[in-house]
Structure 1
């Protein structure tokens, strides 16, 4: 027997009052008057005309325009994906998700959607499009509970995407940085970022920010991270780097967090945040120089701002605080103050260079090596009484026709020695590559280069990335705490910030279409 013949709908069938509907993968005719769906074998002009004449004889002489209007109305009220009802509600649900995401990114209260955004949209639409269009806004739900649910949905979607990237990475290993702080409700919050290789680049991504339920001891912090790892099937042996601050709970040699991590992953690199180490280094200085800075700090003056207004400050102290006037007119004091301004300007420059996202060990090593080289040069200049590297000090000596005595220079040299002795040593892998690889290295960042070399030199690439992937600062956690303060303030002190923080800080965008597809579309959702 020949195969069953398939009939196709023709646009001319509308003259008989029929449109097409897909059912079970087949095209079937649907009457626009009684809404009955006929078999696909009825897709013949004679059968469609017979239905019109038999069932709707009073309307058989209506024109094509009449049947087209009836057909469009029927299409609009279909509940499947082709109906206007479905499309409008999907559009409203998508708008609700996207506005909720913007609310989270802006760190605003969830109530702002219903209290401010929606009323403003109504004002704009009524003025530009007329009141007839306001009905469409009813499809967009921005109530407090709706916004909260949208943010939670997007947060979970983002987290699953991040975990999936970690699973599917060519290099299975990753590193974490973590820090803890206390929020406005006096609740300890633990923040964790992760760095991994995704496709052909390194990615830094927010992992979670959750409260510590008991204390902030190393064991509590480890248990919190361990529970998260077990929940999402992340393995400790894949952790190759852990960066924390210098608190005993983090760096304790017997029971610190890094020690507990190394029990699970012996090859993990434990890093003390370079920014914190630099801050500790700068605090160490000779007594005389420390005394100068303490004097300025106690009196509420910034050394950088005080020096240009030396004369004004001297006049003020002479009239208001004579006991301090002699200190601020002492040339030795002012020389050390000028020296401090120059030194801290250089330190601040290095500190800013170490801050930011995607900072790795090689970048930090370059900046610190350059700074230490400068220190050696500055020390040799001081021995020759050459103050050119210290512009504020040099200008002060020239303006007042003064010379720094040996005692003052010795204090400065001592500070140079202290800075140099705190040099941060890092171990790096010798880069061995061929001529073609050298050309690539010239045009690519260091991390991108070694990821690219993964196929040609898999073992060497893996070794190099184990140096590049670990964090060297906790900058991103520190920046996240600023977001925490904005989201959870005294007016929202009971808020659970887990989902808001992830949506606000993640680089990964939520797959809103996937979320909509998983929902039953209804304006109350």
Structure 2
């Protein structure tokens, strides 16, 4: 009797925008517009019509040919004649997401999939497995727009997982770390990371990156973070601590980011990056050591700024079978570049001495004299040693799951060893 009461799909139901799908042996109505599958009891004209007029009122007056066309498209891309997702479609969809993940991880253009990866895959499969296997790759969705959608889907999913973990953290508390930086295209980007407790251990995840369209004041940074919190259901009341750099926009007493956070959560703690203090402290040098550093920078620029000098020095290193291929520039804003440059120059001091001796120009004679001076070389060796140690300390203060206690211990140990 129960089976006799079951409603069966009628071909006329397509005029309401519904086709049928088999799920666990049951025939269920499925909307050809939004793909929503209704319950078995909804297989009635009144329920189907209610869904069409309620969810898709702008399509309620469409003729039956429109819905039949939508039905064909649904079955072509998603289901076979039995209403089940085909294994080939599943495999193609999964492969598309895997390729998109690789492209995102390698930071390659989205067009790489269709212009390079897919043709290469076809060539490999054709050579090894034959034409039939190659034809299966023809329907693999790897266009530019498809890869973009796949990456966006995965990013949204990861974001939802991170937010869910934050909301489910013990005591519902978390801390954030943020920094604003302007890239080479003058685009100001705000990056925010979150740290929270997951399964009894600390977990640190990237939260979001947004562009600051105009100014980069503390008010702009605070508003961006607040808008994101409102959209994702997070609250400033649950932020236990904030870590920023030492910029005025972050630490301003009246209008800085820290001051604005205090207005919404007075009990939150605020730290600012101690690596900045460490970098500033290392900028101060005695005058005699500063002169040696300036001499080294001038030497490197003399060779690197001239294409001819660069080629001649490269050939000299090749003749002497030297591992290092290039001198390194010093850039003041790159904290580690000073130590790296000094280390490379010190390791190539003999080759530099020979290069300047062969060159014979006035500047080269001056540089040759300095590299021949034992006192000057001692100071260079000292700078190389001390900045190599400082670079090691700098790197040890960075990285995931670094906490203030560990940083303080490392700095104290470094000072004691000096």
Q: Give the shorter-chain TM-score range.
A: 0.5 to 0.7
* TM-score, scaled to structure 2: 0.66
Structure 2 partner of 1:357: 400
Structure 1 partner of 2:270: 270
Structure 2 partner of 1:338: 381
Q: How far 1:323 moved relative to its partner?
A: 4.0
Matches within 5 A, 1:52-451: 77-81=80-84, 86-300=86-300, 302-308=341-347, 310=349, 313=352, 319-320=360-361, 321-324=364-367, 326-375=369-418
SS at match of 2:133: helix
Which whole-Å deviations, capped at 9, do the CAs of 1:360-397 have from their partners, x for residues lacking one? Answer: 1222122112101112xxxxxxxxxxxxxxxxxxxxxx
SS at match of 1:109: coil
Q: How far 1:314 moved relative to its partner?
A: 5.1
Q: Is the 8 A contact 2:100 2:147 kept in 1?
A: yes
Quick one: distance in 1 between partners of 2:407 and 2:140? 48
SS at match of 1:299: helix
Structure 2 partner of 1:487: none
Call closer, same or farther: CA 1:202–1:127 in 2, change over 3 Å. same
SS at match of 2:400: coil
Q: How far 1:154 moved relative to its partner?
A: 1.3
Which whole-Å deviations, capped at 9, do the CAs of 1:222-255 have from their partners, x for residues lacking one? Answer: 1111110111111112112222222222222332
SS at match of 2:396: helix
Quick one: distance in 1 between partners of 2:255 and 2:132? 68
Quick one: distance in 1 between partners of 2:246 and 2:289? 25
SS at match of 2:171: coil
Structure 2 partner of 1:460: none
Call closer, same or farther: CA 1:130–1:238 in 2, change over 3 Å. same
Larger Cα-atom Rg: 1
Two-structure CA RMSD over aligned residues (Å): 2.9
Call closer, same or farther: CA 1:183–1:289 in 2, change over 3 Å. closer
Quick one: distance in 2 between partners of 1:200 and 1:275? 28
Quick one: distance in 2 between partners of 1:77 and 1:334? 78
Quick one: distance in 1 between partners of 2:408 and 2:217? 31
Quick one: distance in 2 between partners of 1:282 and 1:329? 27
Call closer, same or farther: CA 1:172–1:308 in 2, change over 3 Å. same
Q: Is the 8 A contact 1:88 1:139 kept in 2?
A: no
Quick one: distance in 2 between partners of 1:80 and 1:359? 52
Structure with more contact order per residue of length (Cα contacts < 8 Å, sep ≥ 6): 1
Which whole-Å deviations, capped at 9, do the CAs of 1:107-158 have from their partners, x for residues lacking one? Answer: 1111111112222222222223222233432442111111111111111111
SS at match of 1:171: helix
Call closer, same or farther: CA 1:330–1:98 in 2, change over 3 Å. closer
Quick one: distance in 1 between partners of 2:138 and 2:118? 10
Quick one: distance in 1 between partners of 2:284 and 2:164? 45
Quick one: distance in 2 between partners of 1:346 and 1:109? 39
Quick one: distance in 2 between partners of 1:4 and 1:311? 95
Q: Is the 8 A contact 2:299 2:367 kept in 1?
A: no
- Structure 2, gaps ≥5 residues long: 4-23, 29-78, 301-326, 328-340
Call closer, same or farther: CA 1:308–1:152 in 2, change over 3 Å. closer
Call closer, same or farther: CA 1:126–1:271 in 2, change over 3 Å. same
Which whole-Å deviations, capped at 9, do the CAs of 1:46-68 have from their partners, x for residues lacking one? Answer: xxxxxxxxxxxxxxxxxxxxxxx
Q: How far 1:283 moved relative to its partner?
A: 0.8
Quick one: distance in 2 between partners of 1:118 and 1:326? 59
Which whole-Å deviations, capped at 9, do the CAs of 1:67-119 have from their partners, x for residues lacking one? Answer: xxxxxxxxx953333xxx63322222222222212211121111111112222
* TM-score, scaled to structure 1: 0.53
Which whole-Å deviations, capped at 9, do the CAs of 1:433-484 have from their partners, x for residues lacking one? Answer: xxxxxxxxxxxxxxxxxxxxxxxxxxxxxxxxxxxxxxxxxxxxxxxxxxxx
Call closer, same or farther: CA 1:125–1:311 in 2, change over 3 Å. closer
Call closer, same or farther: CA 1:113–1:328 in 2, change over 3 Å. closer
Structure 2 partner of 1:23: 26
